[in-house]
Amino acid sequence: MAAHLKKRVYEEFTKVVQQQHEDLSAKKLRLTKPSKSAALHVDLCKATSPADALQYLLQFARKPVEVESVEGVVRILLEHYYKENDASVRLKIASLLGLLSKTAGFSPDCIMDDAINTLQNEKSHQVLAQLLDTLLVIGTKLTENPSVRMRLVEVACKHLTDSSHGVRNKCLQLIGCLGPVEKGGAKEAESQAAKDVQKIIGDHFNDQDPRVRTAAIKAMLQLHERGLKLQQAIYSQACKLLADDYEQVRSAAVQLIWVLSQLYPESIVPIPSSNEEIRLVDDAFGKICHMVSDGSWVVRVQAAKLLGSMQQVSSHFLEQTLDKKLMSDLRRKRTAHERAKELYSSGEFSSGRKWGDDAPKEEIDTGAVNLIESGACGAFVHGLEDEMYEVRIAAVEALCMLAQSSPSFAEKCLDFLVDMFNDEIEEVRLQSIHTMRKISHNITLREDQLDTVLAVLEDSSRDIREALHELLCCTNVSTKEGIHLALVELLKNLTKYPTDRESIWKCLKFLGSRHPTLVLPLVPELLSTHPFFDTPEPDMDDPAYIAVLVLIFNAAKSCPTMPALFSDHTFRHYAYLRDSLSHLVPALRLPGRKLVSSPVSPSITPHEDPSQQFLHQSLERVYNLQHLDPQGIQELLEFTIRDLQRLGELQSELAGMADFTATYLQCQLLLIKALQEKLWNVAAPLHLKQNALASTAAKQILEETYKMEFMYSGVESRQVLIIHHMRLQAKALQLIVTARTTRGVEPLFGMCEKFLQEVDSFQRCFISELPHMQGSFVDKLLDLMPRLVTSKPSEVVKILQTTLRQSTFLHLPLPEQLHRATANIIEPTGESDNPLRFTSGLVVALDVDATLEHVQDPQGTVKVQVLYPDGQAQIIHPKAADFRNPGPGRHRLITQVYLSHTAWTEPCQIEVRLLLAYNSNRSKASAKIPKCSWSESLEALPQTETSIEGTIPFSKPVKVYIMPKPARR
Amino acid sequence: SVFCWDTGAGQDVGRSCILVSIAGKNVMLDCGMHMGYNDDRRFPDFSYITQNGRLTDFLDCVIISHFHLDHCGALPYFSEMVGYDGPIYMTHPTKAICPILLEDYRKITVDKKGEINFFTSQMIKDCMKKVVAVHLHQTVQVDEELEIKAYYAGHVLGAAMFQIKVGCEAVVYTGDYNMTPDRHLGAAWIDKCRPDLLISESTYATTIRDSKRCRERDFLKKVHETVERGGKVLIPVFALGRAQELCILLETFWERMNLKAPIYFSTGLTEKANHYYKLFITWTNQKIRKTFVQRNMFEFKHIKAFDRAFADNPGPMVVFATPGMLHAGQSLQIFKKWAGNEKNMVIMPGYCVQGTVGHKILSGQRKLEMEGRQILEVKMQVEYMSFSAHADAKGIMQLIRQAEPRNVLLVHGEAKKMEFLKQKIEQEFHVNCYMPANGETTTIFTNPSIPVDISLGLLKRETAIGLLPDVKKPQLMHGTLIMKDNSFRLVSPEQALKELGLAEHQLRFTCRVHIQDPRKEHETVLRVYNHLKGVLKDYSVQHLPDGSITVESILIQATAHSEDQGTKVLLVSWTYQDEELGSYLTSLLKKGLPPSTS
């Protein structure tokens, strides 16, 4: 029972894939249907009742039809269509026609006439609608042909007067998708159907059925998307639709208004009931703002989203959106924001509020108060207060976009954004923090605002705190008190959540370097130095002290007077931190001290950077390998690899590149070592050990090449070529080793053939690059290809062996940017001594929290692996929603892994690690393989040798102590 | 027409009790009591109704919008003591919580103040037995013609707006509502039901409120700071409504900020009510509804029941205590204990009546004289924070925009403020707005549309003749209207004749038109034919071999005038069914023929 339960739980909660290495998929069943049309015909003739016929059609629809037989099938279907009396069967046939005309490679113009003919005698509205849908499919496949389109549009116009909404709907859709877009064409005069699609569609804005009205607006939008310039006259019509009773109509109308406002921003429209006129974009903005307080939340979301992209609105209107005239008992009242600002500017700190401090001031002229029709007034205030968080998020996004383009608006919306930091839904809070970060270049935080922002630092959600740290990194603070406040709050944060250490240090680094002059007066206080007395030396391991130092040192970088305030131990600490936390502490020009390294001025391009130079020099050095003796080669490679690895550790920005190169050299080294042995020529069985070494080397090289190809972002095609080349060499090595260890020729045939195929596909992939590979392994191999194909396996092996030895070392060009994918599991920490207890057979959820850097498409590639002590391994695909994207190139995985096992006698550790799955089909190389004619249909796609799936572990494994208890009976 | 008679809510914030008479049906909306009086004036004067006989005979139903006592406080008095046995409608949460409040109210008046002649616990129970609970958006048929439907109103848990409909006449009564969502409730919403009358509360008729977020943030910040300093926070609250909102606010904040200081809630009737808050999740806001599967927000993790002894515990804490104005009970006791320490804080979340301790400290008094000549020095901080759940002027306008009523009636507000709003409503929506005083009757004339049944055959036949139906334009239609047994039917004339057993009579109009034309008869006919053919392009105009012309079914014949050969007499004859075309033709022919072209 328990086992069954466990199985069920797995089925329901996780997608667990037991990796199966036997290649099942190779045996793919390919069904051939010699004559589908004939079979269908027989079936349909056999059908005695409509229900039967429907069944046959349904069955038929489940299987795909080959391109060649589509037309035949269509004819048969049409034949039955005319005979059929039952509307439901006709409906199915009509839908099948549409499905069939979608078949890739089939040109449906031959069946178009028939399809149009069927329309003529059709009585059933549903079938008519379906037929029009079929025509739409046909039309979209034949967009290149204007006369076909014209004809279809004519047909659609004819049926626009149908009494069924479904038919009218489809007609409008058809016109929208196929209506003529190009103006003034030669054909214009010739056909009257193409008179004015816009007018035809516009007439249906007042249709009695809301669905048709929606379809008309959508058709109009479709026309716009296809490039037709909509007429301005529609604007007034669209405005009326905003007051429609049905939400889908209003929602579509809002879009239409938006489109028009983007098309004719500057034209002038009159304001009804007055003589004034305003720009169209302002008018539209007002109208859309009005929709932010619509009754339907779908419309509200739509409206709020669109507001963000209306950039041409005059600032006067824009600023109104944040303004809600407050009053109390008919007297003007200031908002809390205004009061806070006043308090701040008057120099008072916001102490507790007094009773009646918000008492209303001046009287309001009752006539002047406009309660509702004030257009843009307060739209965002409403949007941000909305009941549905979807609307609030949309409003925050819109605010962000508008603020990015208008600094003055950014300044104004600040208060509102800060307020959103206290929203009840975390997503909204996060979104508003991100928004604030995006507009931070436009704003400076006032102290009271900063106070509110900093209050959020205590949030228990790590996401929020990290987002806030990011925000603080790029915030401008106006006063030294502000900096002090920020530091104090960050330190508080640090004591409360020690895991935030790195993030806080980074934050302080930027805070320091942005505000050197504000930090300067704080230095004595922060370092607690005293003019006369020596103060005790702080503990160097205290993260809080390090945080303070990071702030100060970064400020000191652009403030030369600051080091004078340091005490002796500060200098010592500086030296220590500069070495241990080099990415946080910049190089300083300290008085009386030699610089640890020459200052890195920002103007230096990466190529002039000394470490970069070092990297290139080491590579240069390696390129002259050929001229050295074997021993020398190995030594040189080993040294270079060591150097590169150290460089990677020191210079985080070069880590990717250094690692990548080191890995490549490591492969080369392994290859050389494997080929080095003089014992190769001795009879094979005597040298099992040697063979073992060579075969492990080959295997390792293969692994490393996959790592190189898939673990680094920024790899270009040149590098891919070299990686593949290396892989080919490894495979050759493998072949040689196997040839030497196996007796008999039989298995070798297959292997040789496979290898040759690989060479062939390599050549196909990189045909353009081959000229660059003079003297390389593959170059030589290709020269020998004719001989290889015809010779026996043993000879092939011999040739390969010599070629491998003689081939030269390929230079590895380095791309501009190269980053290694890394993962770090934050949770579980692996430190707990308390085992996670659960009843065997049931599941326990383990929270996994990890940061991923430089992983492309993490949703598709990152997996969690769980290794049980009995060697059983589970691979879990996290849901796409479990990945967050806090910044460019960074991802965060927060997921739950379900564990289960049979009962154990005592607790034991399992290992959790992250894997990077790869699939060589997805690699950059395969994109270049020319599409063969025979692989067009999916069924016929050959199982190419190139598609190899595998996984690379790319995080340190974490041990989790678990204890499945036997179930109590 | 709709009559609306206000017994309590007109131009006054006191008890709500409105009587609506709509198309002959009488409905009572709310049955509240006035908090300010302790005599007969606290309950509405039902004698106005009882003078015509028993309540049950007069009223078709009673609707209660929400559980606040000024909306339901007089219910047991009304149903049990005055005597009403008809149905009482309220939403499920209201039905659950209302008796708790009534019982509490009864206890205070009878047990504490020692009043007699007041309703008893049994009466409350009996009264609740008459209540029919309704769901949101559920249409309840009270009787064959009267139907009611509830809409969400925010304000407090279970508050609803009601649409009362008889035939096609409808009234919407809002009760109290809130258009801005708060921490535990959503915003009021109504569809575009276009009622004849919208009866709206107008407590904040002249106020446009600031965003709620600032207030919330201020509140949280103050509490947080005090707690961090190690101080104690006292929040005097009324037991239901705002208290829950503040609890949720603090609870989520504690959760978010990982705070450890304890929060206490003084027990009593709140515990029972909280239980219902947990149950009626569907009535709360989006956040609570979405997350209750993981955790019900009203299952407070940080908020615990308060015990008298806790007040002396050291260290920071937050305590919610009743009553809200610090005039008696637990909140006052705790206040006395904590007032001396400047680290502590008291936050008044609502309005305080003059004379209470709450009002005194809010107006800045730092030395209070307690019973027994004690002087209490208030060193603790005093904060005021208003959390109100009524729609402000903008919200009221928004609701009117959503519902699109033809008339608006304002109740539950002060006359001066309502005047302003009335003017605004009339100006911006161009609808009539009324604000009756207590006891005043307002009559609203409606323009009811009367539904008529039409047979499908006739409808199809008639629409087939004309163009496509268009909502904007009325369409002409031929048929016979039969009014029988209070129902209206439109049937084809043949069927009508058959049903009534009458023989069909043909009615034919004949008209002579004189035309000056010296030519021969057949030439004249030909001219007329050509003329008509030219003018009436859409009709079939035929020239028959016997010398007559037919236009559809209209016959035209020409004869020479017996006296004057130069004048031709055109005989136009049509049936009653073709009246329209026939009269048009005659007028056309009377204008004469165009000058001959040949």
Cis preceding linkage at A828, omega within 30: yes
Mean pLDDT, range A866-870, rounded to an integer:
88
In contact, B125 and B146? CB cutoff 8 Å: no
- Please provide the average confidence, as pLDDT, over all residues in chain B: 83
Q: Radius of gyration of chain A from Cα atoms?
A: 36
Residues A86/A88/A93/A97 CA torsion (nearest 10 deg): 140
pLDDT band of residue A326 (cuts 50, 70, 90) is low
Taking the C-alpha atoms of residue A734 and residue A795, their distance in angstroms, rounded to an integer, is 15
Interstrand relation of B541-543 and B303-305 (parallel, antiparallel or unpaired): unpaired
pLDDT in tens, B324-363: 778 777 888 888 889 888 899 998 877 676 777 888 888 8
B363 neighbourhood in chain A, CB within 8 Å: 355
Nearest alpha-carbon partner for B426 in B402, B397, B451, B454: B397
Residue A372 has pLDDT above 50, yes or no: no
- Strand, coil or helix: A824: strand
In contact, A320 and A292? CB cutoff 8 Å: no
How many Cα atoms sit within 13 Å of B593 on the Cβ side? 25
A335/B contact by beta carbon, under 8 A: yes
B393 neighbourhood in chain A, CB within 8 Å: 327, 371
In contact, B163 and B171? CB cutoff 8 Å: yes
pTM value is 0.73
Q: Do B401 and A372 touch (CB under 8 A)?
A: yes
Taking the C-alpha atoms of residue A969 and residue B296, their distance in angstroms, rounded to an integer, is 32
Q: Which of B223, B288, B394, B396 is the best substitution to test chain A (most A C-beta atoms within 10 A)?
A: B394
Q: Do A460 and B256 touch (CB under 8 A)?
A: yes
Residue A344 has pLDDT above 70, yes or no: no
Q: Where are the alpha helices (DSSP H) in B348-487?
A: 357-362, 393-403, 415-429, 456-465
Q: Which of A163, A300, A371, A494 is the best substitution to test chain B (most B C-beta atoms within 10 A)?
A: A371
Q: Do A329 and B215 touch (CB under 8 A)?
A: no
Give me the residues of A, 858-917, that contact B with CB < 8 A. none
A325/B contact by beta carbon, under 8 A: yes
The predicted structure's pLDDT at residue B5: 64
Q: Which of B161, B245, B260, B286 is the best substitution to test chain A (most A C-beta atoms within 10 A)?
A: B286
In contact, A220 and A230? CB cutoff 8 Å: yes
pLDDT band of residue A709 (cuts 50, 70, 90) is confident
What's the 3-state SS for B412-446?
Answer: CCCHHHHHHHHHHHHHHHCCEEECCCCCCEEEECC
Cis preceding linkage at B323, omega within 30: yes
- Strand, coil or helix: B521: helix
Q: Which of B257, B287, B470 sits opposite A208 (nearest CB)?
A: B470
Name the token pair of A377.
């007034």
Q: Do B218 and A336 touch (CB under 8 A)?
A: yes
Q: Which of the 8 DSSP states describes residue A363? A: B
For chain A, report the end-to-end CA distance as a whole number of angstroms.
Answer: 12
Taking the C-alpha atoms of residue A629 and residue A155, their distance in angstroms, rounded to an integer, is 83
The CATH superfamily holding the domain B2-208+389-444 is: Ribonuclease Z/Hydroxyacylglutathione hydrolase-like (3.60.15.10)
At A56, the amino acid letter reads Y
Give me the residues of A, 540-579, that contact B with CB < 8 A. none
Q: Which helix H or strand E contains A130, and what residues bound it? A: helix A125-141
- CA B119 from chain center: how many Å? 31
- Please provide the average confidence, as pLDDT, over all residues in chain A: 77
The predicted structure's pLDDT at residue B596: 57
Widest Cα–Cα separation across chain A: 109
The predicted structure's pLDDT at residue A599: 42
The predicted structure's pLDDT at residue A103: 78
Nearest alpha-carbon partner for B594 in B536, B531, B524: B531
Q: Nearest 5°: CA angle at A688, between A684 and A693?
A: 115
B192 neighbourhood in chain A, CB within 8 Å: 245, 295
Taking the C-alpha atoms of residue A145 and residue A662, their distance in angstroms, rounded to an integer, is 57
Give me the residues of A, 394-423, that contact B with CB < 8 A. 416, 419-420, 422-423
pLDDT in tens, A587-607: 887 765 544 444 444 444 444
Q: How many CB atoms lie within 10 A of CB A175?
A: 29
pLDDT in tens, A884-940: 776 677 888 888 888 888 888 888 888 888 888 887 654 444 443 333 333 333 333
Q: Do B401 and A352 touch (CB under 8 A)?
A: no
Q: Do A366 and B420 touch (CB under 8 A)?
A: yes
- Strand, coil or helix: B495: helix
Query: How near does any CA of chain B get to the CA of A528, in Å?
Result: 24
CB pairs under 8 A between A and B: 122
Query: How near does any CA of chain B get to the CA of A726, in Å?
Result: 53
B470 neighbourhood in chain A, CB within 8 Å: 206, 208
| The CATH number of the domain covering residues in A821-925+946-965 | 2.60.40.10
A337/B contact by beta carbon, under 8 A: yes
The predicted structure's pLDDT at residue A190: 43
Residue with tokens 């049931």: A842
Give me the residues of A, 492-531, that contact B with CB < 8 A. 496
Tell me how long chain B is.
Answer: 598
Q: Do B394 and A372 touch (CB under 8 A)?
A: yes
At B356, the amino acid letter reads T
Domain boundaries, chain A: 234-325+373-442, 447-590, 610-806, 821-925+946-965
Residue A542 has pLDDT above 70, yes or no: yes
Q: Which of A356, A369, A387 sits opposite B181 (nearest CB)?
A: A387
Taking the C-alpha atoms of residue B506 and residue B512, their distance in angstroms, rounded to an integer, is 20
In contact, B201 and B391? CB cutoff 8 Å: yes
Q: Which of B206, B418, B471 is the best substitution to test chain A (most A C-beta atoms within 10 A)?
A: B206
A245/B contact by beta carbon, under 8 A: yes
Judge residue A548's burial from the number of C-beta atoms within 10 Å of its C-beta, 0-12 exposed, 13-18 middle, 19 or more buried: buried
Q: Which of A208, A333, A372 sits opposite B397 (nearest CB)?
A: A372
Q: What is the per-residue burial (b if ≥16 Cβ within 10 Å, else e) of A867-905? A: bbeeeeebbbbbeeebbbebeeeebbbbbbbbbbbeebe
A372 neighbourhood in chain B, CB within 8 Å: 394, 397-398, 401, 428
Q: Which of the residue ranges A32-36, A228-232, B138-142 would you say has the lowest mean pLDDT?
A: A32-36
Nearest alpha-carbon partner for A505 in A449, A546, A463, A456: A546
Q: Do B180 and A419 touch (CB under 8 A)?
A: no
| The CATH number of the domain covering residues in B212-384 | 3.40.50.10890
Q: For CA atoms B365, B369, B375, B378, give the dihedral sign.
A: negative
Instruction: State the complex-level ipTM.
Output: 0.79
Mean pLDDT, range A16-23, rounded to an integer:
45
- Establish whether B201 is a catalytic residue: yes
Query: How near does any CA of chain A get to the CA of B302, in Å?
Result: 15
Locate the DSSP E strands across A695-775. 712-713
Nearest alpha-carbon partner for A300 in A213, A429, A395: A395
Query: Which residue of chain A comes nearest to B212, CA vs CA?
Result: A385
Taking the C-alpha atoms of residue A655 and residue A646, their distance in angstroms, rounded to an integer, is 9
A389 neighbourhood in chain B, CB within 8 Å: 286-287
Query: Which residue of chain A comes nearest to B251, CA vs CA?
Result: A424
Domain A234-325+373-442 maps to which CATH number in 1.25.10.10, 1.10.274.50, 3.40.630.10, 3.40.190.10?
1.25.10.10
SS3 content of chain B, % helix, strand, coil (to 5): 35, 25, 40
Residue B493 has pLDDT above 50, yes or no: yes
Cis preceding linkage at A815, omega within 30: no
The predicted structure's pLDDT at residue A32: 43
* Percentage, residues of chain B above pLDDT 90: 16
Residue A378 has pLDDT above 50, yes or no: yes
Selecting among B103, B144, B169, B201, the annotated active-site residue is B201
pLDDT band of residue A20 (cuts 50, 70, 90) is very low
Give me the residues of A, 137-196, that contact B with CB < 8 A. 161, 163
Q: Radius of gyration of chain B from Cα atoms?
A: 36
In contact, B515 and B593? CB cutoff 8 Å: yes
Cβ neighbours of residue A218 under 8 Å, at least 6 residues apart? Answer: A172, A173, A176, A252
pLDDT band of residue A479 (cuts 50, 70, 90) is confident
Q: Which of B180, B256, B326 is the best substitution to test chain A (most A C-beta atoms within 10 A)?
A: B256
Query: Where do the CATH 3.60.15.10 domains begin and end in chain B?
Result: 2-208+389-444
B286 neighbourhood in chain A, CB within 8 Å: 387-389
CATH 2.30.30, applies to B508-591: no
B468 neighbourhood in chain A, CB within 8 Å: 161, 163
Q: Which of the 8 DSSP states describes residue B357? A: H
B13 neighbourhood in chain A, CB within 8 Å: none
Between these two residues, A347 and A282, which has the higher pLDDT value? A282
Query: Which residue of chain A comes nearest to B460, CA vs CA?
Result: A163
pLDDT band of residue B458 (cuts 50, 70, 90) is confident
Q: Where are the alpha helices (DSSP H) in B46-91?
A: 47-50, 55-58, 69-72, 75-76
pLDDT band of residue A941 (cuts 50, 70, 90) is very low
Query: Which residue of chain A comes nearest to B285, CA vs CA?
Result: A387
Q: Which of A161, A352, A385 sits opposite B211 (nearest CB)?
A: A385
Residue B533 has pLDDT above 60, yes or no: yes
Q: Do A330 and B417 touch (CB under 8 A)?
A: yes
Q: Which of A163, A329, A423 sits opposite B207 (nearest CB)?
A: A329
Q: Do A387 and B286 touch (CB under 8 A)?
A: yes
Q: Which of B207, B217, B397 sits opposite A422 (nearest CB)?
A: B217
Cβ neighbours of residue A803 under 8 Å, at least 6 residues apart? Answer: A732, A777, A780, A781, A784
Nearest alpha-carbon partner for A712 in A659, A770, A775: A659
Q: Do B206 and A330 touch (CB under 8 A)?
A: yes
Locate the DSSP E strands across A635-717. 712-713
